[in-house]
Structure 1
Amino acid sequence: MKRRFTSSHYLFMAGAVFFQLLVYGILHATAVPRPDSVVSLEVRHAWGTQPPSMGSWQAGLPSTPDGEGHPLWLKLEGASGPWKDPRLVFYPSVPVVALYKDGTEVREETLNELGHDPRFVTEWSAMPLQPEEAGGPLILRLDRLASVPWAIEMAESADWVTHLFRSDLLLFVSFMILLFLGLVAIGLYAAFPREPLHLILALFAWCLSLNFLVRIQSKSLFLTAPDVYFALGIAGAVGWPIFALLFFERVVHPSLRNMTRALWVGYGSLCAVAIGCIAVEPKAFHFLENGLMMLVVQALMLAIVVLIVLSIRRESKNVEYSFFLFAFTVYFLDFATAIALPVQGGGVASSLALALGFTAVMLRRYWATQREVQQLNAGLERKVQDRTEALTQAIADRAAMEERNRVAHEIHDVVGHTLTGAIVQLEAGQLLLGRDPDQAQRKVETAQELVRKGLDDIRASVRMLRDDAWSEPIIDLMQRAALETEHHADVEIRQRFDANLPELSSSFKSLLYSALLEGISNGIRHGGSRAFEVELTREKDRLRFRLRNEGRPYAGEEFGFGLQALRGRAERLGGTFGFRSNGSEGGAVLEIFLPLHDPAI
């Protein structure tokens, strides 16, 4: 069973009725009465090339121009004075007016150079008169008429201009409201270019504002450009139904969008044909503007109402359809009011209601988008928080692992170095046991001393894991380690240190100290070296550590735990690690380069 109108739909239609009554009341209350100095004249007319005789005048104004192109002669009466600055005002404009007195042409004035073309006929044209000319009957000749005036008035210039401005006030306010709405919509489109409704609403509002602009009668006081007003009027009249349909296409129920698209494509094609006809035959302008095209536009608006009803029957809870229902209810109420009760400012209610309904749709979607963005941001924040917690835990686990590795490296480097010395002493004692028992005994005692020192080194290594344990200069630490190694391992260690080394971080000191101990231990165990040479120097923006032994050459064997650990630590500190054979000189070289510009220094 298809859904019907709900109470909210009827509420919106009731609101449309109230809105129409409100605007009509405002229009009625603000209607500007004509001042006493603006007088409608009694008119008689005749057609011909010569001034008509007394008996050939006909009462009133003709409804259409003479089919043979003859000038229109007018006899004007009823303008009793006195006059200070009189103006003779024609509605609509006329191209050329000649003033006659006693059967003789007094002067001729061009009021609208393009007025012979029906496309460029404006709302009015005014001919200035001398006070003495306005006092009695006037004989006028109107040439090249595209349309016949429907009214002619005599007015004081200042009073008439004031009356124009006051009459245009409501139209001007409507024009400014729609112009501002278009600017706001285009600003939203600049901020959110993925939403085309903002751009469509801006163009729709500006087309409606053009319709009000060309209806403002006082505009010609500032700029007399009928061709420009014609172009603006065509743009506004053709554009607003197209943009209304484009906007509605994005709101209507999806099953009806193809039908809506066909409507605006068909209307746009018909407008193109009509504009072409007007360009070829200007006389067709009035028929197309006030006849055929007006009926087409009303049929389009009625089609939109039908589509709104069908959309409501398919999706009654969509409030956007209610906004359109409000707007188009006002539109047809305003159209009926304009036919039954012509008032100044007709079309204001319908234009503002359409703009209001479209704006409500746009704002609803904007707020819906903002809610979605807020929900997405909240979801992203939760995910970021969860991810941060996971990363924090992972960092903590990695830090714990690195700390364990650091403890293992320190114990390996320091204690391994000490035990290497103990092994050397035990091996020497074993060799001397048969030849020199006393000397062998001393070697064993030295080995015992080294083992005890190894236990102390374990405790010291744990203490040195703290950063404050590396407060001594690196040169002092390395010299003391070299001296102890020479004493316990019976080796020679030559030293060369730069005196101007900068203060190093605990990470750099720990790495260099471990490299010295590990290099000496490896040289003794694997290379059988009894002599070493250690260097710590500065080369521009980097620190160079070099340890050379004089044992067996390095044959490219895979690194053990100690060297692998040294290489990893050097790379983490932004440095490089190398271990190679010393070539023809024999032995091996351990070399480390560290950057001195590192923040850790």
Structure 2
Amino acid sequence: MVGGGIRNHLPLLRTLTVLLGFLVLIGWGLGSVGKSDEASGLKSDRWLWAPARSFHDSSPPRGVWLPYPNKSPNLETSSPYWLQIPLDKSSAREPQLLIFNAVALSVYDNQRLLYTYDPQAEHHRLNLFYHWNLVPLPAPIPSEVYVLLDNRDSSRPLPSIHFVGKGDIFTYFIQKDTYAFLLAGLFLFSLFVALGLYFVRRDRLHLYFALLAFCGCYASIARNYLLQVIWDQPWVSFMEHVIFPLGVYGFVNIMIEVFGSAQAGILRAIRWVLLGFVIVTLFSAIFLDMKWFGWLLSYPLLTVFLVTAGVVFHSIWSAYQERQGPESIWMLAGFFIVCTFALIHVLRTYLPMFYVLLERKVPLLFKLPFDVLSISLFLFLICLFRIIIFRFGLINEQLKAFNLSLESNVRKRTEELLERETQLRDANTQLTITMRGTAEAIASSMVLEERHLLTGTIHDTIGHALTATIVQLEAAKRLLKRDPDLALEKLDASQSLVRRGLEEIRNSVRLLRDDSSSYDLQSALKELIRETEQTTGVTIVSRINPLPDSLTTLQKRVLYQALQEGMTNGLKHGGSTRFDFSLTVSGTRLQFRLISDGLTYTPSTFGFGLKAMSERVANLGGHMAVEPGNPGCVLTLTLPFQAHAQPEEVTRG
């Protein structure tokens, strides 16, 4: 908590002093510029007044006129009345009467109508503080004019009438209202800066800052007399009544964004109340009767403003007590300035009769420039700029700390990477040694695999040749005594079979060594079937479909040796005399089927030849099965193949 000593609040007091000094300096400058207003005003001590029957009176009354200094309360209420205003001689070119603070009026030179304005007939709604009427005077200047005034059911202060030349009016307005356009330019610049910050950072504080700058810009443009010279549209200044509650709505949202959820509980509820009040005010300004719209601006608006100001002050003060940082100090100082002069603005604009009474008690209020609210709002925006700069400073400090932390992390990570690189280098060396050993082991395994494959091939080839040779030798043995010539033929056939087996071994070795993909499997199978029939006398029925060109040499060798091994086993172990063989293509798979007669096969552990062949088929992704026949044996193979030929290196891989 903040202590009670004034020393603890010196930063806040110093900020308030600076802001008040700026405000007094600007207000004094504007007051000096507006002094010409007093010089041109007609003195009201010679005026006379008389009540009017209605605003439609066509001539001044002939009855008794009363001195204007003895003002009746009727003059400040809704009853229409006449003013008799004497005019002095003037050397001004194109003399005019400049009349302020009049709702509906008509100006007469005796019975002649010089000027009339009725906002109801024109469908206008007026902000009387910034609306004026310019009445041209005839030449020669009459000694007196009669002004018929009607406040139209509203209590208004007494009118202010000036006797000026037409050319002097523009000089007077430029002198008096240049500051308003200067403020509008500053607010517009702040609006664009806030929108730019919002689109870059998406911080809602900048969005509400832009809303407040927009309200200040619109109010500065609408709160001047020169605007009617440029664009005579009363609705522009009249809608300024809606801008004030919209600005309060933006102000409350700024409080919420600055202080966060800790102080924003009740402010969030007030924010929605204010938004609803803005919508109601906008609707009422367009459609509601002026009497009721004036009541809405006089009492509910004042109540909402006072409640909002109290809650906002409590929230800012609580935040200030929790932490005396630049944010709470500048927000509290800016709030005090803008809230004080906003209250003066509300009393002056929406309760003018009460403000006139207050001016009589506190003459200093009369010396304040009328648009002091825009000045105080601009000072508040300066406070908000100071808070945004402070936040950017905090972000800069955080970025510096993050940068130092990042550099430290990068340095640490670099050291870890260097250490990791050393570990990887050692691991690479060890891996090289391991890979060399693995390569040697793979080479040995490949040698063993190739030997295994070679032995299987030789077994299949020699087994088939020797089986056929044994059959021929046994036949020759039986025929040697009965028919020596036929026995000799059998011996010659045995010799041919041995030679053929030797040639097959050479071909298998050559096939293993060269891995030639040009091997004609279909022709080789037909030749094997023909030789087997000639040498053994068995009957072989075959059906071989056209084979795909994409078969690899290993696949061709497996199929050839499978037929060779199957017929050898059938002759040797089953005593077969007939074989049915088919090799067909089904999709991307080869279907191999060999059926033999003879002894019915009894399932048992595969011998060397079948085991080696089963392993080779499995390595190629296929499946081999040996099943009993009826009678005999059935050997089936299913072998996948690629639909299109692949490069030799891929096939080998």
For the aligned pair, the TM-score class normalised by the smaller chain equals 0.5 to 0.7
Query: Shift of residue 68 of structure 1?
Result: 7.5
Q: Secondary structure at the match of 1:239?
A: helix
Which residue among 86, 90, 108 is the counterpart of 2:99?
Answer: 90
Aligned to 1:503: none
**Which structure 2 residues correspond to residues 276-295 of structure 1 after superposition, within 5 A?**
282-283=290-291, 289=297, 293-294=301-302
Aligned to 1:257: 264
Q: Secondary structure at the match of 1:343?
A: coil
Which residue among 179, 182, 203 is the counterpart of 1:173?
Answer: 182
- Give the aligned CA root-mean-square deviation in angstroms: 6.0
Which residue among 523, 534, 539 is the counterpart of 2:559?
Answer: 523
- Amino acid across the alignment from 1:16: L
Aligned to 1:75: 85
CA separation in 2, counterparts of 1:373 and 1:123? 50
Aligned to 1:349: 375
**Which structure 2 residues correspond to residues 288-367 of structure 1 after superposition, within 5 A?**
289=297, 293-294=301-302, 297-298=305-306, 300-314=308-322, 316=323, 319-331=326-338, 339=365, 341-343=367-369, 345-361=371-387
CA separation in 2, counterparts of 1:370 and 1:254? 24
Aligned to 1:429: 462
Deviations 1:144-166 (A, max 9, x none): 33445432112222331232133
CA separation in 1, counterparts of 2:618 and 2:638? 20
Aligned to 1:47: 50
Q: Do residues 215 (structure 1) and 223 (structure 2) align? A: yes
Query: Shift of residue 559 of structure 1?
Result: 10
Structure 1 residues 184 and 546 mapped into 2: Cα distance closer, same or farther (>3 Å)?
Answer: same
CA separation in 2, counterparts of 1:190 and 1:441? 95
- Amino acid across the alignment from 2:41: S
Deviations 1:34-88 (A, max 9, x none): 669972223403123463569734145957554683432231324x322322321
- Amino acid across the alignment from 1:11: P
Structure 1 residues 372 and 4 mapped into 2: Cα distance closer, same or farther (>3 Å)?
Answer: farther
Q: Do residues 592 (structure 1) and 643 (structure 2) align? A: yes
Deviations 1:239-264 (A, max 9, x none): 22222223323433645433333544
Report if aligned partners of 2:102, 2:159 keep a CA contact under 8 Å in 1: no
Aligned to 2:518: 482
Structure 1 residues 520 and 68 mapped into 2: Cα distance closer, same or farther (>3 Å)?
Answer: closer
Q: TM-score, normalised by structure 2?
A: 0.59
Q: Secondary structure at the match of 2:139?
A: helix
CA separation in 2, counterparts of 1:114 and 1:5? 63
Aligned to 1:17: 17
Seq. identity, % = 13
CA separation in 2, counterparts of 1:88 and 1:594? 108
Query: Shift of residue 444 of structure 1?
Result: 6.8
Aligned to 1:127: 134
Query: Shift of residue 202 of structure 1?
Result: 3.0
Which residue among 242, 250, 264 is the counterpart of 1:243?
Answer: 250
CA separation in 1, counterparts of 2:233 and 2:103? 14
Query: Shift of residue 361 of structure 1?
Result: 4.8
Q: Secondary structure at the match of 1:347?
A: helix
Structure 1 residues 117 and 312 mapped into 2: Cα distance closer, same or farther (>3 Å)?
Answer: same
Query: Shift of residue 270 of structure 1?
Result: 7.2
Q: Do residues 206 (structure 1) and 232 (structure 2) align? A: no
Which residue among 97, 108, 111 is the counterpart of 1:99?
Answer: 108
CA separation in 1, counterparts of 2:525 and 2:447? 14
Report if aligned partners of 2:97, 2:135 keep a CA contact under 8 Å in 1: yes
Which ranges in structure 2 are unaligned for 5 or more consecutive residues? 53-58, 345-361, 471-493, 529-543, 567-580, 596-613, 626-635, 648-653
Report if aligned partners of 1:95, 1:111 keep a CA contact under 8 Å in 2: yes
Structure 1 residues 519 and 115 mapped into 2: Cα distance closer, same or farther (>3 Å)?
Answer: same
CA separation in 2, counterparts of 1:90 and 1:595? 104
Q: Secondary structure at the match of 1:307?
A: helix
- Amino acid across the alignment from 1:97: S
- Amino acid across the alignment from 1:45: L
Q: Secondary structure at the match of 1:481?
A: coil
Which ranges in structure 1 are unaligned for 5 or more consecutive residues? 458-477, 498-511, 536-544, 565-577, 597-601
Aligned to 1:145: 151
Q: Secondary structure at the match of 2:145?
A: strand
- Amino acid across the alignment from 1:39: S
CA separation in 1, counterparts of 2:592 and 2:380? 97
Deviations 1:528-559 (A, max 9, x none): 59999999xxxxxxxxx989686659xxx999
CA separation in 2, counterparts of 1:192 and 1:13? 33
CA separation in 2, counterparts of 1:533 and 1:412? 33
CA separation in 1, counterparts of 2:646 and 2:27? 84
CA separation in 1, counterparts of 2:552 and 2:439? 16
Query: Shift of residue 481 of structure 1?
Result: 3.1
- Amino acid across the alignment from 2:145: I
Query: Shift of residue 491 of structure 1?
Result: 8.3
CA separation in 1, counterparts of 2:278 and 2:271? 10
CA separation in 2, counterparts of 1:302 and 1:560? 94
Q: Secondary structure at the match of 1:592?
A: coil
Query: Shift of residue 351 of structure 1?
Result: 0.2
The aligned length equals 510
Structure 1 residues 303 and 423 mapped into 2: Cα distance closer, same or farther (>3 Å)?
Answer: closer
CA separation in 1, counterparts of 2:296 and 2:220? 20
Q: TM-score, normalised by structure 1?
A: 0.63
CA separation in 2, counterparts of 1:416 and 1:157? 119
Query: Shift of residue 373 of structure 1?
Result: 10
CA separation in 2, counterparts of 1:219 and 1:312? 42
Query: Shift of residue 283 of structure 1?
Result: 4.0
Deviations 1:379-426 (A, max 9, x none): 9x99xx99xx99xx9xx99xx9xxx99999999999978964653234
Structure 1 residues 425 and 291 mapped into 2: Cα distance closer, same or farther (>3 Å)?
Answer: closer
Query: Shift of residue 200 of structure 1?
Result: 3.1
CA separation in 2, counterparts of 1:110 and 1:185? 42
CA separation in 1, counterparts of 2:36 and 2:317? 48
Q: Secondary structure at the match of 2:60?
A: coil
- Amino acid across the alignment from 2:267: T
CA separation in 2, counterparts of 1:405 and 1:92? 106
CA separation in 2, counterparts of 1:243 and 1:444? 106
Structure 1 residues 495 and 563 mapped into 2: Cα distance closer, same or farther (>3 Å)?
Answer: closer
Query: Shift of residue 448 of structure 1?
Result: 8.4
Q: Secondary structure at the match of 1:81?
A: coil
- Amino acid across the alignment from 1:162: T
Q: Secondary structure at the match of 2:264?
A: helix
CA separation in 1, counterparts of 2:229 and 2:438? 91
CA separation in 2, counterparts of 1:519 and 1:414? 20
CA separation in 1, counterparts of 2:563 and 2:242? 96
> Which has the higher mean CA deviation after the structures are superposed, 139-148 or 333-342?
333-342
Aligned to 2:166: 157
CA separation in 2, counterparts of 1:4 and 1:559? 99
Query: Shift of residue 441 of structure 1?
Result: 8.5
Query: Shift of residue 89 of structure 1?
Result: 0.6
Report if aligned partners of 1:39, 1:154 keep a CA contact under 8 Å in 2: yes
- Amino acid across the alignment from 2:641: L
Aligned to 1:502: none
